[in-house]
Amino acid sequence: MSTILFPSPVFGPVHSRRLGRSLGVNLLPGDGKICSFDCVYCECGLNDERRPASRMPSRSEVADELERTLKRMRGEGREIDAITYAGNGEPTSHPEFLAVVRDTRALRDKYFPQAKVCLLTNATHLDRAEVREAIELIDRPCLKLDAADRDYIERVNRPNARYDLDEVMGWMKSFHGRCIIQTMFIKGTFEGKSVDNTTDQYVLPWADAVASIAPEGVDIYTLARDTPRDGMQHVPLEELERIAGVLRSRGVHDVHCYP
């Protein structure tokens, strides 16, 4: 199946199901993917098949291109709801992430002060103080937690370095609710192994874990684009709503489903 790569360092705006008119900031190379996870469902493809030849954009390249784009859009009378770090991999792996976030906030304040600065992250770099500091500056940090089950994470998210679920949960809790949890629900198989996280075996511990983080909100979504391999299926809305109900019964009410 065909997967996609995003231009770097700025792309869109795209219409995001979650964020509205969102200008994307891709801190990874435009010709490949760099991620500390290698999720079997990744819309950018599998890490080994998407090795980039070019480097990450520098802080000044990001700021220059972002300013050019925001200035042009404002001149054209266009509006945006969000500026979002997303794209070909994990944004927080950029070595100057904190400085980039500071630049982005200043540019946002200058050109589109009503827009929210958003982040889609897999949360693997929360052990770094400067990443946590950057997240404190972001209006809508969305942290990935697909399951509260080590085997599932190893099988589906496939971290390429040590991933300690208890430690990651601890960092998530350290934001005292100022974060969004984002979870991908899928069915089917990858290389002969089940990737289904919609059964009670996964949903119940996940719901307990999310409730213990007490986030501002939870985004539950499912496959909307092509996956690197066949065999995985999206989850119908009724089932996502059932899962959202499990979470609400644990006191987490701001839950949104994106079928």
- Residues near ligand SF4, by CB under 6 A: 35, 37-39, 42, 44, 89-90, 122
Nearer to ligand SF4, 108 or 158 (CB): 158
Cα angle 105, 11, 80 (rounded to 5 degrees) comes to 55
From residue 87, how far is each of 5, 18, 67, 213 by CA, in Å?
Answer: 7, 15, 18, 26
CA-CA distance, 78 to 166, in Å (whole number)? 44
Nearer to ligand SF4, 159 or 217 (CB): 159
Nearer to ligand SF4, 64 or 159 (CB): 159
CB 113, min distance to ligand SF4, A: 29
CB 144, min distance to ligand SF4, A: 6
Nearer to ligand SF4, 17 or 78 (CB): 17
CB 102, min distance to ligand SF4, A: 23
CB 155, min distance to ligand SF4, A: 13
How many helices (H) and strands (E) the chain has is answered by 7, 11
DSSP 31-72: TS-B-S---TT-TT--GGG---SSPPPPHHHHHHHHHHHHHH
Nearer to ligand SF4, 25 or 35 (CB): 35
211 class by beta-carbon count within 10 Å (0-12 exposed, 13-18 middle, 19+ buried):
middle
Nearer to ligand SF4, 42 or 66 (CB): 42
Residue 92 in 3-state DSSP? helix
CA-CA distance, 114 to 237, in Å (whole number)? 31
CB 93, min distance to ligand SF4, A: 10
CB 41, min distance to ligand SF4, A: 7
Contacts of 56 (CB under 8 A, 6+ apart): 8, 27, 28, 29, 34, 94, 95
